[in-house]
């Protein structure tokens, strides 16, 4: 009976899959920084879908005056934006109700972290997207990694710039597809210098501060790691829904090297938390060298205690 139960699909995983089938699908074009080509890639994908005969419309696309991006909008149906009167200014926002009434198969919604003008039904654009998905409409959207809420502090430490507009991690975790749009730091800096991202004066200031090669490398790693986490979650759900035993060899592994240092237990606990987050196998080793002969009895006991802690927490030693 135990074997049969273990081989059955997970009811929770099946329920999650069923809930997804009733909603629209969300695809996020994720970048490490502005200017990597997220909107351009989204529009190229949209044009390919249009040529296949799929009903696709533009809800909102910000070209920022880039001619190459503007050219890719040609031929796509654009839902006119609605104007909101705010402090004697007319602000253009995506017309959510018009899109719901039009009910396309796919809608393009650029800049997922955008804050809507006061008076809009939702304060944030990602909430508009959630309503579209709930209505069964597929959404293509763009996002930079610095706008993900859980990474906000990390990005601020890297770039020394605090991003105010964020989206909750749940919207990223809910994405059915994430496509990382990635170019090298040198290529992005070249695009900045050529005026393809910002006007020259803004670009020069950005290169000196936010867009340094080191910052861009760190942001690229964050984008790739966050995407890998989502892929791992999708793999686990697939395995549970189809009663596939795991883990598969494609997963990550964590190894901790411990010694007589008093911080060993804290390091082991941290490795356990990381392994759980990554759903990875983990373990610890202690390498004995000639200096082991000079360790005190208390230090040897500490090593033994740390390795026993590894076993208690489910790691291998």
Q: Are 276 and 257 in contact (CB under 8 A)?
A: no
Residue located via tokens 């699909």: 9
Three-state SS at 78: strand
For residue 195, the model assigns a pLDDT of 75
Q: What is the structure's pLDDT at 59? A: 98
CA–CA gap between residue 100 and residue 245 (Å, rounded): 41
Question: What local confidence, expressed as pLDDT, does residue 152 receive?
Answer: 84
The answer to whether 147 touches 38, Cβ cutoff 8 Å, is: no
Token output for 161: 């710039």
Cis geometry, peptide bond prior to residue 247 (ω within 30 degrees of 0): yes
Dihedral (CA of 158, 159, 163, 166) sign = negative
Predicted pLDDT of residue 213: 87
Tokens matching residue 230: 């989502």
pLDDT for 200 equals 60
Residue 161: predicted pLDDT? 83
Angle between the 264-278 and 297-312 helix axes, to the nearest 10 degrees? 20
- pLDDT, position 1: 40
- What are the chain's domains? 2-241 (3.40.50.300), 253-312 (no CATH)
Contacts made by residues 193-202, CB under 8 angstroms, sequence distance 24+: 196/35, 196/66, 197/34, 197/35, 198/35
* pLDDT tens sequence for the chain (317 residues): 444 445 566 666 556 665 667 799 999 999 998 889 999 999 999 999 999 999 999 999 998 888 889 999 999 999 999 999 888 889 999 999 999 999 999 999 999 999 999 989 999 999 999 999 999 999 999 999 999 988 888 888 888 888 889 999 889 988 999 999 988 989 988 888 887 776 566 656 666 667 888 899 999 988 988 887 776 666 556 555 565 555 554 557 888 898 888 888 888 888 887 887 777 788 999 888 877 788 898 888 889 999 988 888 888 87
Which pLDDT value is given to residue 12? Answer: 64
What's the pLDDT score for residue 143? 97
Q: Write down the pLDDT at residue 76.
A: 97
Q: What is the pTM of this model?
A: 0.71
């Amino acid at each position: 009976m135990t074997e049969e139960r273990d081989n059955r699909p997970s009811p929770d995983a099946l329920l999650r899959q069923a809930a997804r089938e009733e909603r629209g699908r969300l695809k996020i074009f994720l970048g490490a920084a502005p200017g990597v080509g997220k909107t351009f890639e989204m529009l190229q994908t949209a044009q390919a879908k249009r040529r296949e005969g799929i009903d696709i419309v533009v809800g909102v696309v910000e070209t920022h005056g880039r001619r190459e991006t503007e050219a890719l909008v040609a031929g796509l149906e654009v839902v006119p934006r609605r104007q909101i009167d705010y402090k004697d200014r007319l602000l253009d926002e995506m017309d959510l109700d018009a899109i719901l009434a039009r009910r396309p198969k796919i809608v393009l919604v650029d800049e997922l972290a955008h804050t809507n003008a006061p008076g809009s039904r939702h304060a944030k654009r990602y909430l508009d997207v959630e309503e579209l998905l709930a209505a069964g409409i597929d959404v293509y959207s763009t996002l930079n990694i610095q706008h993900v809420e859980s990474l906000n502090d990390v990005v601020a430490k890297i770039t020394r710039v605090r991003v105010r507009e964020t989206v909750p991690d749940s919207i990223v975790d809910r994405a059915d597809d994430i496509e990382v749009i990635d170019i090298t730091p040198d290529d992005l800096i070249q695009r900045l210098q050529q005026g393809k991202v910002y006007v020259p004066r803004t670009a020069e200031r950005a290169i000196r501060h936010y867009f340094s090669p080191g910052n861009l490398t760190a942001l690229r790693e964050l984008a790739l790691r966050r995407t890998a986490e989502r892929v791992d979650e999708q793999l686990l759900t697939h395995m549970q829904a189809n009663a596939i035993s795991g883990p598969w060899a494609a997963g990550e592994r964590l190894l901790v090297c411990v010694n007589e240092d008093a911080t060993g237990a804290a390091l082991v606990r941290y490795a356990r938390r990381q392994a759980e987050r990554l759903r990875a196998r983990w373990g610890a080793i202690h390498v004995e060298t000639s200096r082991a002969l000079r360790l005190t009895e208390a230090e040897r006991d500490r090593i033994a205690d740390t390795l026993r802690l590894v076993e208690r927490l489910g790691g291998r030693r």
